[in-house]
Amino acid sequence: MAMETRDIINIIGPALRGLTWRDGIAARYRFDDSDEAKTAKYADSLEYAPPADATAEQIVADLRAKISDCGGDCPQAVIVPGLGVFVRVDDQQAVATGRVGGKVAVVTGAAQGFGLEIAQSLAAEGATVVLADINSDGAQAAAADICDRFGQGRAIGVRIDVTDGQSVQQACDGVVRAYGGLDLLIPNAGVLKAQSVKTQPEKDFDFVTSVNYKGYFLCVQKFAPVMAVQHLASPAGMSDIIQINSKSGLVGSNRNGAYAGSKFGGVGLTQSFALELIDDGIKVNSICPGNFFDGPLWSDPDNGLFVQYLRTNKIPGAKTIEDVRKGYEAKVPMGRGCRTADVMTAVYYLVDQKYETGQAVPVTGGQVMLS
């Protein structure tokens, strides 16, 4: 069966990245199917037309052989007749020093709050970042700000609805077209609706489960094959999937069963994905942060958790939002909520640690202790 155009792009792009992998860094390749690109002259190029029924393994082998015939270095451009051109992006800023220097990272739920701060930290540490969010305008504006701070081409914003497989696939396709593939996927998008099991509407339970549980599954399902092709082209290379979970994925949460259940399920997915995807050179772990009190999830004045928990009497005797906050801070041995810097320390550890997969790492200030 002949491959679709999308399938060809999503194999050749990551294959080229894998074939350029050196010392933990792979080149970025932009796919361009404009008439201008198709007719342009490239000083350093090769032409490759994959067979109609080619497999990923055959395409990688063909490209490896062609590159070897050209001296062993991946060219500036790889021309696919009738399809377009993969153009190598040589940007020294993209291989800047930093804990994730030169890597391509995708963060979901990145238009604001915790996800945005994760993306900003990754960019500051040398990564090229894709900010994926259902709020595409917000993601694109945030990406433009990162480019202003760290250099053009260092970030893009794409729309993603993590509950819709087609939307996730389109986001993945956009990442491959922009950069050729990815090295780090951080499924961060999440929602919470707190209410008693005795009164919570079924639609609210379905909404929380769909975003937090199904959304994680779909992101891994669509992005992992791209990461697998990179590993096929460079078996020494490793990629990472790091799910942002919650302490509620480790212990139950009173009057918050939909959220805790979705997060417990996320840990189960992480362990299962880790067993399967290690053969593709993909490490899969979760980070389980404590309460991020300063972000919109908690502090939004209309729908934040402090407001919701005041309404549902989760802190007995609390009369104000500040009472609820103080009640939650008192639950933490270290006396404060979790911060982005705390989580990023765990993210960089998991990327650096080559001998760890399938773990759920608590970052809770001692509120949750593993037994």
Catalytic positions, written as ranges: 259
In 90-148, DSSP assigns E strands to: 104-108, 128-133
Q: 169, 260, 282, 185: which is closest to 222 by C-alpha?
A: 169
Q: Report CA Rg, the chain.
A: 22
Asked if 182 and 239 count as a contact pair (C-beta separation under 8 A), the reply is yes
E-only strand ranges, 127-250? 128-133, 155-159, 184-186, 239-244
Helix/strand/coil for 17: helix
CA distances (Å), origin 21, targets 14, 102, 174, 304, 317: 10, 11, 21, 43, 58
CA 33 to CA 82: how far, in whole Å?
9
**Collapsing DSSP states into helix, strand and coil, what is residue 105?**
strand
| Residue in 370, 330, 31, 337 with CA at minimum distance from that of residue 178 | 31
